[in-house]
Protein backbone atom coordinates (compact mmCIF):
# COMPACT_ATOMS: atom_id res chain seq x y z
CA UNK A 1 0.00 0.00 0.00
CA UNK A 2 1.39 3.40 -0.95
CA UNK A 3 1.24 6.47 1.25
CA UNK A 4 -0.43 9.59 -0.14
CA UNK A 5 1.02 12.89 1.07
CA UNK A 6 -0.40 16.40 1.13
CA UNK A 7 1.63 19.07 -0.65
CA UNK A 8 0.91 22.50 -2.08
CA UNK A 9 0.92 22.96 -5.83
CA UNK A 10 1.97 26.60 -5.82
CA UNK A 11 4.67 25.97 -8.40
CA UNK A 12 2.08 25.37 -11.09
CA UNK A 13 0.06 28.48 -10.33
CA UNK A 14 -2.87 26.69 -8.74
CA UNK A 15 -4.49 27.80 -5.54
CA UNK A 16 -5.32 24.34 -4.32
CA UNK A 17 -3.30 24.08 -1.13
CA UNK A 18 -3.41 20.73 0.60
CA UNK A 19 -4.55 18.73 -2.43
CA UNK A 20 -3.67 15.07 -2.43
CA UNK A 21 -0.74 14.26 -4.66
CA UNK A 22 -1.71 11.94 -7.45
CA UNK A 23 -5.44 12.33 -6.76
CA UNK A 24 -7.74 13.03 -9.67
CA UNK A 25 -10.09 16.00 -9.49
CA UNK A 26 -13.45 15.25 -7.93
CA UNK A 27 -16.80 15.62 -9.65
CA UNK A 28 -17.87 18.37 -7.32
CA UNK A 29 -14.77 20.47 -8.05
CA UNK A 30 -15.78 22.94 -10.81
CA UNK A 31 -12.34 24.58 -10.67
CA UNK A 32 -10.63 21.46 -11.88
CA UNK A 33 -12.64 21.59 -15.08
CA UNK A 34 -14.23 18.20 -14.65
CA UNK A 35 -17.75 18.17 -15.96
CA UNK A 36 -19.15 14.73 -16.58
CA UNK A 37 -21.15 14.43 -19.77
CA UNK A 38 -24.28 12.38 -20.15
CA UNK A 39 -22.76 10.03 -22.75
CA UNK A 40 -19.96 8.97 -20.40
CA UNK A 41 -22.34 8.47 -17.51
CA UNK A 42 -24.78 6.20 -19.30
CA UNK A 43 -23.78 2.59 -19.75
CA UNK A 44 -23.87 1.48 -23.36
CA UNK A 45 -24.31 -2.16 -24.32
CA UNK A 46 -20.89 -3.72 -24.83
CA UNK A 47 -20.01 -4.53 -28.41
CA UNK A 48 -18.72 -7.91 -29.59
CA UNK A 49 -15.15 -6.62 -29.53
CA UNK A 50 -15.50 -5.50 -25.93
CA UNK A 51 -16.93 -8.90 -25.00
CA UNK A 52 -14.01 -10.63 -26.71
CA UNK A 53 -11.53 -8.37 -24.91
CA UNK A 54 -13.18 -9.22 -21.58
CA UNK A 55 -12.88 -12.93 -22.36
CA UNK A 56 -9.18 -12.67 -23.23
CA UNK A 57 -7.89 -12.87 -19.65
CA UNK A 58 -10.00 -15.99 -19.17
CA UNK A 59 -8.44 -17.55 -22.25
CA UNK A 60 -4.97 -16.63 -21.00
CA UNK A 61 -5.69 -18.23 -17.62
CA UNK A 62 -7.01 -21.38 -19.29
CA UNK A 63 -3.98 -21.51 -21.60
CA UNK A 64 -1.62 -20.94 -18.67
CA UNK A 65 -3.15 -23.74 -16.62
CA UNK A 66 -3.17 -25.94 -19.71
CA UNK A 67 0.56 -25.41 -20.11
CA UNK A 68 1.11 -26.04 -16.39
CA UNK A 69 -0.90 -29.29 -16.50
CA UNK A 70 0.86 -30.43 -19.67
CA UNK A 71 4.25 -29.69 -18.08
CA UNK A 72 3.29 -31.64 -14.95
CA UNK A 73 2.14 -34.59 -17.05
CA UNK A 74 5.39 -34.54 -19.03
CA UNK A 75 7.48 -34.39 -15.86
CA UNK A 76 5.58 -37.34 -14.37
CA UNK A 77 5.87 -39.31 -17.61
CA UNK A 78 9.62 -38.61 -17.81
CA UNK A 79 10.04 -39.65 -14.17
CA UNK A 80 8.23 -42.92 -14.84
CA UNK A 81 10.37 -43.57 -17.91
CA UNK A 82 13.56 -42.89 -15.94
CA UNK A 83 12.39 -45.26 -13.19
CA UNK A 84 11.55 -47.95 -15.77
CA UNK A 85 14.92 -47.60 -17.50
CA UNK A 86 16.75 -47.60 -14.17
CA UNK A 87 15.04 -50.85 -13.16
CA UNK A 88 15.89 -52.39 -16.54
CA UNK A 89 19.51 -51.28 -16.22
CA UNK A 90 19.72 -52.75 -12.71
CA UNK A 91 18.33 -56.04 -14.04
CA UNK A 92 20.86 -56.09 -16.89
CA UNK A 93 23.71 -55.22 -14.51
CA UNK A 94 22.69 -58.19 -12.34
CA UNK A 95 22.69 -60.45 -15.40
CA UNK A 96 26.16 -59.22 -16.37
CA UNK A 97 27.44 -59.87 -12.85
CA UNK A 98 25.97 -63.40 -12.88
CA UNK A 99 27.50 -64.09 -16.31
CA UNK A 100 30.90 -62.86 -15.13
CA UNK A 101 30.72 -65.09 -12.05
CA UNK A 102 29.70 -68.08 -14.22
CA UNK A 103 32.63 -67.35 -16.57
CA UNK A 104 35.05 -67.27 -13.62
CA UNK A 105 33.69 -70.63 -12.37
CA UNK A 106 33.96 -72.20 -15.85
CA UNK A 107 37.54 -70.97 -16.28
CA UNK A 108 38.46 -72.40 -12.88
CA UNK A 109 36.83 -75.71 -13.84
CA UNK A 110 38.71 -75.67 -17.19
CA UNK A 111 42.02 -75.14 -15.40
CA UNK A 112 41.21 -77.96 -12.99
CA UNK A 113 40.20 -80.39 -15.74
CA UNK A 114 43.19 -79.56 -17.95
CA UNK A 115 45.78 -80.00 -15.19
CA UNK A 116 48.27 -82.92 -15.67
CA UNK A 117 47.31 -84.38 -12.28
CA UNK A 118 43.75 -84.85 -13.55
CA UNK A 119 44.61 -86.04 -17.09
CA UNK A 120 47.27 -88.65 -16.13
CA UNK A 121 44.98 -91.06 -14.19
CA UNK A 122 42.31 -90.88 -16.91
CA UNK A 123 44.90 -91.61 -19.64
CA UNK A 124 46.34 -94.58 -17.74
CA UNK A 125 43.07 -96.20 -16.64
CA UNK A 126 40.58 -95.49 -19.38
CA UNK A 127 42.88 -95.25 -22.41
CA UNK A 128 45.62 -97.67 -21.33
CA UNK A 129 48.45 -95.24 -21.95
CA UNK A 130 51.83 -95.39 -20.29
CA UNK A 131 54.42 -92.75 -19.67
CA UNK A 132 56.96 -92.44 -22.47
CA UNK A 133 60.65 -93.23 -21.92
CA UNK A 134 63.63 -92.93 -24.27
CA UNK A 135 63.22 -96.46 -25.78
CA UNK A 136 59.72 -95.93 -27.02
CA UNK A 137 60.59 -92.95 -29.19
CA UNK A 138 60.69 -93.78 -32.92
CA UNK A 139 61.78 -91.24 -35.49
CA UNK A 140 60.18 -91.65 -38.89
CA UNK A 141 61.89 -90.24 -41.95
d(CA 40, CA 31): 20
Q: Give me the mean pLDDT over the 84-90 stretch.
A: 98
d(CA 5, CA 21): 6
Confidence of residue 137 (pLDDT cuts 50, 70, 90): confident
Is the pLDDT confidence value at 5 over 80? Answer: no
| Neighbouring-strand partners of residue 6 | 20
| pLDDT score for 45 | 72
Contacts of 23 (CB under 8 A, 6+ apart): 4
| pLDDT score for 75 | 98
d(CA 63, CA 137): 97
Structure confidence by residue, pLDDT tens digits, 98-117: 999 999 999 999 999 999 89
d(CA 53, CA 127): 103
Is the pLDDT confidence value at 23 over 60? Answer: no
| pLDDT score for 96 | 98
Entry pTM: 0.44
Contacts of 10 (CB under 8 A, 6+ apart): 17
17 and 7 in contact (C-beta within 8 Å)? no
Is the pLDDT confidence value at 31 over 80? Answer: no
Q: Give me the mean pLDDT over the 41-69 stretch.
A: 80
Indicate the length of the chain as a whole number: 141
Write down the H helix ranges in the chain. 38-41, 48-113, 116-125
d(CA 74, CA 45): 44
Domain ranges of the chain: 10-129
Is the pLDDT confidence value at 17 over 70? Answer: no
Pick 57 or 26 by higher pLDDT.
57
d(CA 18, CA 7): 5
| pLDDT score for 82 | 98
| Neighbouring-strand partners of residue 116 | none
Q: Give me the mean pLDDT over the 82-89 stretch.
A: 98
Amino acid sequence: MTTIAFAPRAAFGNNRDGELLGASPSREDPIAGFEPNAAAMSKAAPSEIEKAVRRMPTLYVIAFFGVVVLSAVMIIWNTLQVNKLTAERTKLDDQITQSEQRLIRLRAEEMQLSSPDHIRPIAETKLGMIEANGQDVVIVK
